[in-house]
Amino acid sequence: METIEMSPILLSPRNRLVTVFGGGRVALRKCRHFDGFRIRVVAEEVMPELRDIAEEVFIDSIDRDNVLRYIEGSDIVVAATSVHSLNDMIRDTSMSRGIMTNSAHGGGDVLIPSTIHRDGWTVCVSSEGRVPAFPPYVIERIDEMLDPSYDEMLALLVELRKDIRDRIDTQPKRAEFLANVLADAEIWDLLREGRSVEARGLALRRGGLE
């Protein structure tokens, strides 16, 4: 199978349609990743949980004619049946129509990474299709490291970014100020102690702004 070079991106749902073929646990996991998108599910049998997630559910057989019909208007197609050959057919049919495609058995041009979603930020890990067990393991290790101070730091940086907009005259200097805040161990310690107001004051003093 040809190796497809991948580029990591984050994609806004923006009313985009994802068509998922398959009605089992793999399809459910894929659908959950596309939370916020319009989701169409096509399968002969569908788990009840999928009905709660999908905007449209079609109970139908999956053959090439049906695939062509159901992928019309799709922005992304997901082949998530339990049958390898069926997923290959869905993948090849979809990609031949220029639609971005993910397949549970590989070979598509869209990969679904393991993710950590926090308030306002996301961490994604992918093995680029090589070993599916690897990304969840890495995400679990990263999640153990990311204590609540990271959320506090992001909130502080958002606040400081507003503060310095009219007080530091160039973008490179503003970027340097924020980078220095991120590298300041004392500010991190204050955030870990829940002293965000003091952390903000220290950041401004360090930058000569208070």
pLDDT in tens, 120-158: 999 999 999 889 899 999 999 999 999 999 999 999 999
**Pairwise CA distance, residues 164 & 207, whole Å:** 10
**Pairwise CA distance, residues 30 & 52, whole Å:** 14
Please say whether the beta carbons of 207 and 177 come within 8 A: yes
Please say whether the beta carbons of 189 and 174 come within 8 A: no
Amino acid of residue 207? G
From its phi and psi, is residue 36 left (phi > 0), alpha (psi between -120 and 50) or beta?
A: left
**Pairwise CA distance, residues 94 & 189, whole Å:** 51
Q: What is the CATH number of domain 17-112?
A: 3.40.50.720
Model pTM score: 0.87
The continuous run of DSSP H or E covering 39 comes out as strand 38-43
Question: What is the DSSP code (8-state) at residue 38?
Answer: E
Q: What is the pLDDT of residues 68-98, one digit of tens each?
A: 999 999 999 999 999 999 999 999 999 999 9
Q: What is the pLDDT of residues 152-198, one digit of tens each?
A: 999 999 999 999 999 999 999 999 999 999 999 999 999 999 999 99
